[in-house]
Structure 1
Amino acid sequence: MKQAEVADAAGISRSSIQRLESGRRDWTHGSVLLQTFYEQEGIVFVRPVDGNGWGLINNSGRES
């Protein structure tokens, strides 16, 4: 999906998604909305283990 489509579906602005993707962590509510949207779409967030960062599993049926 394109950022604009995700923004519409998640209920946040495209510029908010861009800020979150660039690493800004000053809007927790926005990151929760975005994560909730992706989880509803079948994306699984895998917690960091042994010093590795977050991982993702795509169970959405869509190509990455």
Structure 2
Amino acid sequence: MEELFISHGASIGFWCGDVKLLVEDIRELRPTTFCTVPRVLDRIYSSLIEKISSGGLLKHTLFNIAYN
């Protein structure tokens, strides 16, 4: 799969190996395509929902408008 992407001009980036730093790695790499397993997506989603919920009514409302 990597070779296919590279042959079409894509660049490949790898995470540092620490799940706790995965979001920082994603922020730095800014991937167009992100291959992962469902458990990692669940963790990212849970973290996002937790931050939105603790951000107050305005942030929660804006999130719901943007993603629903």
The TM-score, its normalising length taken from structure 1, stands at: 0.34
- Which one has a larger percent strand, Structure 1 or Structure 2? 1
The TM-score, its normalising length taken from structure 2, stands at: 0.32
Larger radius of gyration: 2
Which structure has more relative contact order (CA 8 Å, sep 6+)? It is 1
- Which one has a larger percent helix, Structure 1 or Structure 2? 2
